[in-house]
Structure 1
Amino acid sequence: MDTTRNEALEAWMEEHGHSSNSLARAANSALERITGKLGKYDGRMVRDWRSGRVRWPNAATRRALEDVTGLAAVDLGFVPRGQPSSTAPPSQEDPMHRRTLVTGVITAAVAAAAPGTTAPRRIGMTDVQRLQDKFTAVIASDHRHGGQLGIEQRAVALAEEAINLQNAGSATQRVRSNLYATAASFRSSAMWAAIDGRRFNEAIGHMREAQTLVELSGDQAIKFRIWSHAGSLYRHTGRPADALAANDVARHLHITRRDPMFASLGMARQMAIQGVAHDYGSLRRSFDQAQDAMGRAEPGAYRPVWMTAFYDEAELHSLALTAYLAVGDWSTAEYHAHRCLAALRSHMVRSRAIATSRLAHAQLAQGDADTATHTAMNVPAEAATQHARVSRMLQEFGAALRATAPGSASARTWIEHTAAWRATA
């Protein structure tokens, strides 16, 4: 059997920075967009295409590759059945040379027709990666500061930068899909910053923009994030039925079956919504299911940066803490608070302030004003004065302390402590 290497495909992969595994993932996603069913390509299959062992993939594979590359199968070096490679059809003969020649002719014609103009810029994966590096920085800033208007505005500006890049030049379908996914990622971060800062009207606007962009991208991971955040938005605004419906969209995406870590996060957030809905009987079962799915997730598997940066055992206990506080099970809430704080990674500054504030509430509700006050005083002044969600929780803590222990030493200590915060704000 003739196994002449597919140099055209190899050249395209090198030009666009694809390994065998990354092209397999892109083809899987493309097939899911086309057919609704995730593909099962892997690096071995791509190596078969490159080596020439597979000269003419099946129709679905050809359609997926054409979707990824924007090129016909014959232009990617594949040879139709019954056609010997030594006598390839005209469109197959030296496809790299043919495309280079055609491109040169078109460029010359355009230049002749419009003197002084230049060829359109070619947008590639390096442009996408540059934006994704900025997305990583937005995620890091969110976990340190959280809820700040500046984070929201920065994310919106970067989303617009990604969209503007769509119109800045020519690009393959793969690049365009990634640009839409990146823009959706930034909008979802703007949405979360607005939720975290209790700017709910703004959050709704970001949510709608993000939902449109993600449909253009076909990216399941960021679609999960957006709908999961939508569930959190409705939970924070006291709409548990809508929250459950939105979170169900996230939980029923294919990615939750492919990666149990997504299934775990979806169930953990459902638990928090069940708390707001006062569905006490479901909380333990939801926690166990989320924990079981997390245990089944493959360690070290590729996941998007927004997922790896925050979702772990600490976040699972944080969501359980939220749920049990909502239903008034103070001792169980305190248990999850301690588990959360013990497992939190050092960069989770915002999350530590929130968990500490919630722990203080749980302790105070059990009648231990002294311990609760000491716990609340451990919240950093920056979070207490500049993070809207933390500030509100501590204001509610102070009101509850004055109501349950008026005139006590703890109440006086808390008043003095918050006065010092306001003086430095």
Structure 2
Amino acid sequence: MEGNTSLISAMREAGFKQAELAEAVNAHLRLHGTEGTVSDRTVRNWLTAKSRWPHQRQREALEAVFGCTAEELGFRPPAAILPTIELEPPVRRRNFLTATAVAVVAPAQDSRPSRVGTSDVIRLRSGLDALMALDDKRGGHEGLERSALSGADDALDKVQQASFQRIRQRLFSVAADYTATAAWSALDARQLERTQRHLDRALYLAGMAKDPVVELRVWNSYAMLAHQRGLHTQAVDAGCAAQATAITRRDPLFASLAHARTAIGHSNLGDRTAALRSLGYAQEALGKTSSDEPRPSWIAFYGGSELTAMTAIVQDRIGDPSRAEAASHRALSSIPKQFRRNRALATTRLALAQLHQRDTDQACATASTVFDLMKGYPLPGRMRTLLGDFHRDLITLAPDARVAQEWGDRFRSEWSRT
């Protein structure tokens, strides 16, 4: 017999096991004055479609738990079987049926449960995916930040309406993710004070949600914020905090990102040994990663290509620009096209590595392609700062070179345009 795929999907999204769903349904039944008799076997019968239409109270409880109708959960009512009754005079029969409808239907409508549940979680998460797709192309900006904060507010409003702790935790998780997205947008735009406020809020919400994935995301952004502020010891501490989150023990992809971020912190402190050791841990963890694991959209940027790009940063900062150049070329050959902003950042890193080898002409040519990659979009603040670093190093290393002066003219023109 075909299983109930709709209920299976809803349980997976809500994080319910069979016994946990039975407990949630029974809790709703007891709350409304009915004995909770749903067992693990009952849920199994629903999942296998052996039981296609639970009785009314169970259906109402399921609707409250998941926030959608029983039909949307894959249940189907049986064909109606009309009872055989003795015909009565039309007026008496009509009055009786009307009275019955008022007595039975009206209370059921008044007592219907709140519709806040899994369907709301799914809808809100789909909004996150759209924001992350926009970030991949354009980078952080105020419009994205405002949209993310609006999504967080929407999720938190629904927390107050949800009847069950499981759904409230899911909504807190979504709110934390939206707030972390707002923080990331502010960070990419180099709005550091706003970034700090959003990250503090996101970490609180992640704690309320008991969501280690969002916790790791927040610590990863804290490390980047500390770097932008020049607080490199704090960046290492934040990277270590990311490594300590529970998700790194369950999914090596997240562990790899945490180690790579820590490696950058060590390289900024000039600790070559620690930086290379952390890169080794990141590579080792990445080798254990399965592509089949379901993960949130914000982590889609990270993989072998991004680790290679981060390796280029570390190698340039510890004094190996030739290896940094090679790593940048490898990264650019494999970073997916949709990650336009990340490709532009990796291209700027390549230009820096070339410049640090005194290959001024090639470095300026490479850096100029960044403006072409981001054509049609303003340069995010973080990218503008990195290009400013290139310009500063260019003036320091080759102040009189004609190509440097030409690139400087274009840099100032593009800066004023964006």
Tell whether 2:36 aligns with 1:75. yes
Q: Distance in 1 between matches of 2:384 and 2:57?
A: 64
Q: Distance in 1 between matches of 2:27 and 2:219?
A: 30
| AA aligned opposite 1:132 | R
Counterpart among 150, 153, 156 of residue 163 in structure 1: 156
Counterpart among 44, 57, 66 of residue 23 in structure 2: 66
CA positional deviation for 1:329: 2.5
- Contact map agreement 1:191 1:203 (CA 8 A) in 2: yes
Q: How many residues align?
A: 359
- Contact map agreement 1:16 1:124 (CA 8 A) in 2: no
Counterpart among 270, 282, 303 of residue 278 in structure 1: 270
Match of 1:130 in 2: 123
Q: Distance in 2 between matches of 1:101 and 1:343?
A: 51
CA positional deviation for 1:118: 8.8
Q: Distance in 2 between matches of 1:327 and 1:172?
A: 52
Tell whether 2:142 aligns with 1:149. yes
| AA aligned opposite 2:310 | L
| AA aligned opposite 1:244 | V
| AA aligned opposite 2:345 | I
TM-score by length of 2: 0.76
- Contact map agreement 2:243 2:255 (CA 8 A) in 1: yes
Q: Deviations over 1:163-215 (max 9, x none)?
A: 11223x34332221111100000111111111111111111100111011111
Tell whether 2:225 aligns with 1:268. no
Residues 166-185 of structure 1: pairs in structure 2 closer than 5 A: 166-167=159-160, 169-185=161-177
CA positional deviation for 1:271: 0.9
Counterpart among 234, 238, 241 of residue 242 in structure 1: 234
| AA aligned opposite 1:300 | D
Q: Deviations over 1:210-234 (max 9, x none)?
A: 0111111112211221122222222
Query: Mean alpha-carbon deviation: is it higher for 262-271 or for 394-403?
Result: 394-403
Q: Distance in 1 between matches of 2:403 and 2:363?
A: 9
CA positional deviation for 1:157: 1.3
Q: Distance in 2 between matches of 1:77 and 1:179?
A: 26
Q: Secondary structure at the match of 2:174?
A: helix
| RMSD, aligned CA | 3.4
Counterpart among 317, 342, 366 of residue 326 in structure 1: 317
Percent identity over paired residues: 30
Match of 2:391 in 1: 398
- Contact map agreement 2:60 2:113 (CA 8 A) in 1: no
Greater Cα radius of gyration, structure 1 or 2: 2
Q: Distance in 1 between matches of 2:13 and 2:190?
A: 39
Query: Mean alpha-carbon deviation: is it higher for 127-136 or for 321-330?
Result: 321-330
Match of 1:337 in 2: 328
Q: Distance in 2 between matches of 1:266 and 1:310?
A: 14
Q: Distance in 2 between matches of 1:338 and 1:121?
A: 54
Match of 1:225 in 2: 217
| AA aligned opposite 2:352 | H
Residues 238/200 of structure 1: CA separation in 2 closer, same or farther (3 Å cut): same
| AA aligned opposite 2:302 | Y
CA positional deviation for 1:145: 1.2
CA positional deviation for 1:334: 1.5
CA positional deviation for 1:248: 2.0
CA positional deviation for 1:120: 6.4
Counterpart among 351, 368, 382 of residue 377 in structure 1: 368
CA positional deviation for 1:312: 0.9
Q: Distance in 2 between matches of 1:218 and 1:315?
A: 28
- Contact map agreement 2:162 2:168 (CA 8 A) in 1: no
Match of 1:41 in 2: none
- Contact map agreement 2:309 2:327 (CA 8 A) in 1: yes
- Contact map agreement 1:357 1:393 (CA 8 A) in 2: yes
Residues 362-373 of structure 1: pairs in structure 2 closer than 5 A: 362-373=353-364
Q: Distance in 1 between matches of 2:356 and 2:363?
A: 9
- Contact map agreement 1:122 1:171 (CA 8 A) in 2: no
- Contact map agreement 1:68 1:174 (CA 8 A) in 2: no
Q: Distance in 1 between matches of 2:199 and 2:288?
A: 31
Q: Distance in 2 between matches of 1:100 and 1:415?
A: 69
| AA aligned opposite 1:216 | M
Q: Deviations over 1:38-67 (max 9, x none)?
A: xxxxxxxx4xxxxxxxxxxxxxx66x9636
Counterpart among 235, 250, 273 of residue 258 in structure 1: 250
Q: Secondary structure at the match of 1:224?
A: helix
Residues 367/130 of structure 1: CA separation in 2 closer, same or farther (3 Å cut): same
Q: Secondary structure at the match of 1:122?
A: coil
- Contact map agreement 2:239 2:258 (CA 8 A) in 1: yes
| AA aligned opposite 2:23 | E
CA positional deviation for 1:69: 8.1
Q: Distance in 2 between matches of 1:100 and 1:290?
A: 48
| AA aligned opposite 1:328 | G
Q: Distance in 1 between matches of 2:399 and 2:16?
A: 62
Counterpart among 274, 282, 290 of residue 290 in structure 1: 282
Tell whether 2:180 aligns with 1:188. yes
TM-score by length of 1: 0.75
Q: Distance in 1 between matches of 2:26 and 2:243?
A: 30
CA positional deviation for 1:407: 2.9
Q: Distance in 1 between matches of 2:290 and 2:60?
A: 47
CA positional deviation for 1:137: 0.7
